[in-house]
Structure 1
Amino acid sequence: MRYFFHIGYSGTPYKGWQRHPYGIGVQQVIEECLKKILKQPVPIVGCGRTDAGVHASQFFFHLDVAQPWDFDMLFRLNKVLPPDIAVFDIIPVEGLPHARFDASKRSYDYFIHTYKDPFLHEASALYLVRNLNLDAMQAATALLLLYTDYRNFCITPADHDSTICHVTEARWLTNQQGDKLRFHISANRFLSRMIRIIVGKLLQVGTGVLSLPGFESYLALEQAPKHLSPAYPQGLYLSKVSYPFLDIPPRPGFSPAFLQVTDAGWQTI
């Protein structure tokens, strides 16, 4: 029998979702906890990968068991997991849907604060910049929906069978004070470090280091960036994963430092 687990985690202490020989990943922690509960190894399959230090306010994985358990797995697993990993729902599914390959849409949010705040340093990326040209950043962001080949925004394009991504949403939001920014993007798939590279280039547009035509030339594959400098990992959240058979709203308030995208506290630029 197959179960989908709806979870969230703070990525600060982990080397990403997947198992690594050089550090602890979220997958390893969950598998070890499941082994304690079920008294046998249970491999799990995640909906994707996240880089070291990147968070997930919504994430799914699936596992298979021969027989359904006869106890409260949600309570027991949350009890043994560390505080930075939470299980929200456990959903039995019919057939063999795949947590990774059957996901139809993924959304990410990237948070920036432009002033030093000791309570945000692990939940948002600090960029001490002033007078960002937000209009230019939004104009560059609108171009993302016009192109599909993102090889110039990938750290290892040769590792992917395809660098085609269909971006369906991309926008910047800001709080009323203008000292916090939020970049929201949705697509059918993403490449390695693609979002952090995009954010880094958009910040260059905002500071005047990169022109709007220069940014578009990367998207149009007319020229490749000389340097790829991904934005800091702690600002990035995998925030929504949708399936044709499963579409659960993210848990509100998972990140207490920020409001949800639809809340009035955030204004679209």
Structure 2
Amino acid sequence: MRYFVHIGYNGLHYGGWQKQPGVANVQGVLEKALSKVLKTTVFINGCGRTDAHVHASQFFFHMDVEREWDFDLLFRLNKLLPASIAIFDIIPMDGQQHARFDAVKRSYDYFLHTYKSPFLNGLSSFYLLDNLDFAAMKRAVKLLPKYKDYRCFCTSPDKYEHTICNVMSADLFTDQQGDRLRFQISANRFLSKMIRIIMGQLLKVGRGVQSVDQFEHYLINLETPELITPAHPQGLYLSKVTYPYLNLEPREEFSAFLQAGSAENWISV
């Protein structure tokens, strides 16, 4: 029988989601724990592949288990797994639904702070920057849903059959002090390092070293910037995954400190 498993993880000390030899990865830790608890080899398929040091406040994977268990699997897994990975829900499916290919929308948050903070370290990206032009950055962000081909903001565009992404929404927020930023973007799919590259370009706009027109020029002409500088990975969160048949609210434990009081503290630029 197929099950969807709803999880979250702090990716700071992992080389990404995907299982790979010699590198700490989230998929491998989960497969090892599941195989131990269920006493059979378990392979899992994730809803995406987050990069090294990237977090997920909502993530799904599916697994096929032949024999039903007669104990509290969620409790046992959470007891066995490290504190950086949490199981929220185990959901039986009625067919062969696929965690990756069936997802119709993925949302990401990118958190950034411009002052040194021991409490945000590893949870938000630190950039010692003053006087960012938030208005210009916002104008650039608002261009994103108008374009479909994101070849210009991808590290390896030729490895894909196509580079079309349906960006459904994008927005930029700041806190009341103006020293923390939150970039949100939702799309049906994302390319390699696409969000971090976009965030890196937005910082160039904010610093005044790149104009909004130049930012749009890349999108119009599918021209890769001469110098690609992806933003740090620590501030990036996969925050919501939506399926036609499954739309759960995130449990947000890993980014709750950043998102707490968002209605009062985060202001749209």
Same fold (TM over 0.5): yes
Write the mapping of 1:10-49 to structure 2, written as runs, cut at 5 A.
Answer: 10-49=10-49
Counterpart of 1:151 in structure 2 is 151
What amino acid does structure 2 have at the position aligned with 1:70? D
Percent identity over the alignment is: 58
In structure 2, C-alpha distance between the alignment counterparts of 1:99 and 1:221, rounded to whole Å: 34
> Which ranges in structure 2 are unaligned for 5 or more consecutive residues?
none
Alpha-carbon distance change, 199 to 232 in structure 1, aligned in 2, over 3 angstroms = same
Q: 1:253, 1:259 within 8 Å by CA — same for their partners in 2?
A: no
TM-score, length-scaled by structure 2: 0.97
Q: Which runs of 4+ in 1 moved over 6 A?
A: none
Q: What is the DSSP-based 3-state SS (H/G/I as helix, E as strand, rest coil) of the residue aligned with 1:16? A: coil
In structure 1, C-alpha distance between the alignment counterparts of 2:252 and 2:155, rounded to whole Å: 32
Offset of residue 35 of structure 1: 1.1
Counterpart of 2:98 in structure 1 is 98
Counterpart of 1:173 in structure 2 is 173
Q: 1:252, 1:260 within 8 Å by CA — same for their partners in 2?
A: no
In structure 2, C-alpha distance between the alignment counterparts of 1:151 and 1:126, rounded to whole Å: 27
Write the mapping of 1:244-259 to structure 2, written as runs, cut at 5 A.
Answer: 244-259=244-259
Q: What is the DSSP-based 3-state SS (H/G/I as helix, E as strand, rest coil) of the residue aligned with 1:32? A: helix
What amino acid does structure 1 have at the position aligned with 2:194? M
Counterpart of 1:216 in structure 2 is 216
TM-score, length-scaled by structure 1: 0.97
What amino acid does structure 2 have at the position aligned with 1:80? L
In structure 2, C-alpha distance between the alignment counterparts of 1:253 and 1:55, rounded to whole Å: 11
In structure 1, C-alpha distance between the alignment counterparts of 2:99 and 2:112, rounded to whole Å: 29
In structure 1, C-alpha distance between the alignment counterparts of 2:25 and 2:4, rounded to whole Å: 19
Write the mapping of 1:104-253 to structure 2, written as runs, cut at 5 A.
Answer: 104-221=104-221, 223-253=223-253
RMSD of Structure 2 on Structure 1 (CA): 1.2
Counterpart of 2:84 in structure 1 is 84
Deviations 1:129-177 (CA, angstroms, capped at 9, x unpaired):
1111000000001110110100110011111111000101101011111
Q: 2:10, 2:254 within 8 Å by CA — same for their partners in 1?
A: no
Q: What is the DSSP-based 3-state SS (H/G/I as helix, E as strand, rest coil) of the residue aligned with 2:221? A: coil
In structure 2, C-alpha distance between the alignment counterparts of 1:47 and 1:89, rounded to whole Å: 15
What amino acid does structure 2 have at the position aligned with 1:263? A
Q: What is the DSSP-based 3-state SS (H/G/I as helix, E as strand, rest coil) of the residue aligned with 1:95? A: coil
Q: 1:10, 1:55 within 8 Å by CA — same for their partners in 2?
A: yes
Q: 1:109, 1:237 within 8 Å by CA — same for their partners in 2?
A: yes
Q: 1:10, 1:54 within 8 Å by CA — same for their partners in 2?
A: yes
Number of residue equivalences: 269
> Which ranges in structure 1 are unaligned for 5 or more consecutive residues?
none
